[in-house]
């Protein structure tokens, strides 16, 4: 029982790392970013690279990965996505455009990563020891990733809730038009949110590369997971994403251990469907106006 709970929580931590960045990007900047998984894999590749080349721990690598990812994503938003936002007549039109544009971007990113790193598998061995909790063993690297995910989530939540910049961001998340009226520079805040989201995603990638085998083409699997979690949790609220990630992690582990591992993904989709049907705005979402 404890095993399912703890394994589920650890998995939920992984999912939170995958999805928190997308929540910022979609919730605030209104970009349904289908290249999210590729950004994650890119973060993982960076961690792999510094670890194998210089024995730099993936956790220390975050200090480089996060700022670089922030700048790259900020630039992607300013150069690539801003014109779409300006052009869009309605939120629906922007969604269609951004889905297509970021799908193209995901292709391009896979192409670039394949070009530079080849198509092969990447993994390495870091913190693979055991941690014993309640008579069961868990991987150290997963526990460490979970801890950092928790710290990251807490920091984000505090920042969003108690700082002026966070307040501006939440205002844009609720309504870009009203935010403009009270003098918030919506494009700047959106770019900041998109960049920050990218930084969180890439950091998540660096952390999960400790225990996942990655290759240049694997990103789409993570994108799907992130989409499910963000929609389930409710757009624009970081708490929703974390709760949804934990629920999904525990539910999948429960199904895998007690019912049948063959049904884990099916269970995830059923859960997702259920939430969509009975609470389309997500667990923590506001009813769309």
Partner 1 sequence: MTMRDIRNLILSAFAFGLLALLPLYVSGYILSIATTMAMFTVLATSWALFSGPTHYISLATAAFFGLGTFVTGLGFQTLPMWLLPIIAAGLGAVLAALVGLVTLRLSGVYFVIFTLGLAELVRQVVTWVQNRTGQRGMYVLTSITERDIYWQLLGMAALVFLVGWLIARSRLGFALRIIGNDETVAKHSGIDTAAAKILLFMVSGAAAAVVGAMMAPRYIYIEPSTAFASILSFQVVIMALLGGTGRLWGPLAGVVPFTLLWEFISRNAPNQTLLLLGIAFLLIVYVLPGGFVGLYDRLRHRYGQGGQ
Partner 2 sequence: MKRRNLMMSVAAGAMLAVSMGAASAQDVIRMGAAAPKTGPLAGGADVTHWPAVRLWVHQVNEAGGLQLADGPAMIELIEYDDQTNPQQTIQAAQRMATQDQVDFMVAPYSTGLNLAAAPIFSQLGYPQITGSNVTNQQPELSAQFPGMFFVLGRTGVMAEDTAQVLVDLRDAGEIGDRVALVNVADAFGIEMAEISRDVLEENGFEIVYQTSYPLGTQDIAPIIDGARAAEPDAFIAWSYPADTFALTDQAIVQNFQPSVFFTAVATAFPSFQERFGDQAEGVMGMGGVNPDDPAFQEFAEAHMELTGQLPDYWASASTYATLEILGQAIEATGSKDREVVMAYLQDSSNEYETVLGPIQFNEMNDNERYWTVGQWQDGVFRGVAARGRDGASDVILKDGWD
State in angstroms the smallest separation of the CB of 171 from partner 2: 35
Please identify, using beta-carbon distances, which residue of 113 and 152 lies nearer to partner 1: 113
Please identify, using beta-carbon distances, which residue of 81 and 143 lies nearer to partner 1: 81
Helix (H) or strand (E) holding 130: strand 130-133
- Cα distance between residue 9 and residue 6, in whole Å: 5
Query: Which residues of this protein are in contact with partner 2, per CB under 8 A?
Result: 3-4, 7, 10-11, 14, 110-111, 114, 118-121, 123-125, 128, 130, 136-139, 211-213, 215-218, 221, 252-253, 256-257, 260-262, 264-266
| Contact call for residues 152 and 62 (beta carbons, < 8 A) | no
Please identify, using beta-carbon distances, which residue of 84 and 218 lies nearer to partner 1: 84
Binding partner of 276, given partner 2, partner 1, none, CB within 5-8 angstroms per partner class: partner 1
- Cα distance between residue 66 and residue 62, in whole Å: 6
State in angstroms the smallest separation of the CB of 100 from partner 2: 17
| Contact call for residues 123 and 209 (beta carbons, < 8 A) | yes
Structure tokens at 147: 């801890």
Residue 231: which of 186, 274, 190 has the closest Cα?
274
CA 41 to chain centroid: 11
Residues forming contacts to partner 1 in the complex (CB under 8 A) are 32, 80, 83-84, 87, 91-92, 95-97, 99-101, 103-112, 114-115, 220, 224, 227-228, 231, 260, 262-263, 265-266, 269-270, 272-273, 276-277, 280, 288
């Amino acid at each position: 029982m404890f095993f399912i709970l703890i394994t589920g929580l650890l998995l939920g931590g992984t999912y939170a790392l995958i999805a928190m960045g997308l929540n910022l990007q979609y919730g605030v900047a209104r970009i349904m970013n289908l290249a999210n998984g590729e950004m994650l894999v890119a973060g993982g590749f960076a961690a792999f690279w510094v670890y194998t080349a210089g024995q730099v721990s993936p956790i220390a690598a975050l200090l480089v990965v996060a700022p670089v990812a922030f700048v790259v994503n900020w630039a992607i938003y300013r150069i690539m996505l801003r014109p779409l936002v300006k052009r869009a007549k309605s939120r629906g039109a922007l969604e269609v455009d951004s889905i297509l544009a970021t799908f193209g971007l995901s292709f391009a990113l896979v192409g670039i990563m394949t070009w530079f790193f080849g198509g092969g598998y990447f993994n390495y061995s870091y913190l693979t020891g055991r941690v014993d909790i309640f008579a069961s063993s868990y991987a150290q690297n997963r526990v460490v990733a979970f801890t950092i995910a928790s710290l990251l989530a807490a920091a984000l939540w505090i920042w969003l809730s108690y700082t002026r910049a966070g307040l501006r961001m939440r205002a844009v998340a609720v309504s870009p038009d009203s935010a403009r009226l009270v003098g918030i520079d919506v494009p700047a805040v959106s770019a900041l949110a998109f960049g920050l989201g990218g930084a969180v995603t890439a950091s998540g990638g660096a952390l999960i590369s400790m225990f996942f085998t990655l290759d240049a083409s694997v990103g789409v699997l993570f994108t799907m997971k992130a989409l499910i979690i963000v929609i389930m949790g409710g757009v624009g609220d970081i708490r929703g994403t974390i709760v949804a990630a934990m629920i999904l992690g525990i539910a999948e582990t429960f199904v895998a251990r007690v019912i049948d591992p063959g049904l884990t993904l099916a269970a995830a989709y059923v859960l997702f469907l259920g939430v969509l049907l009975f609470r389309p705005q997500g667990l923590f979402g506001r009813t769309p106006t």
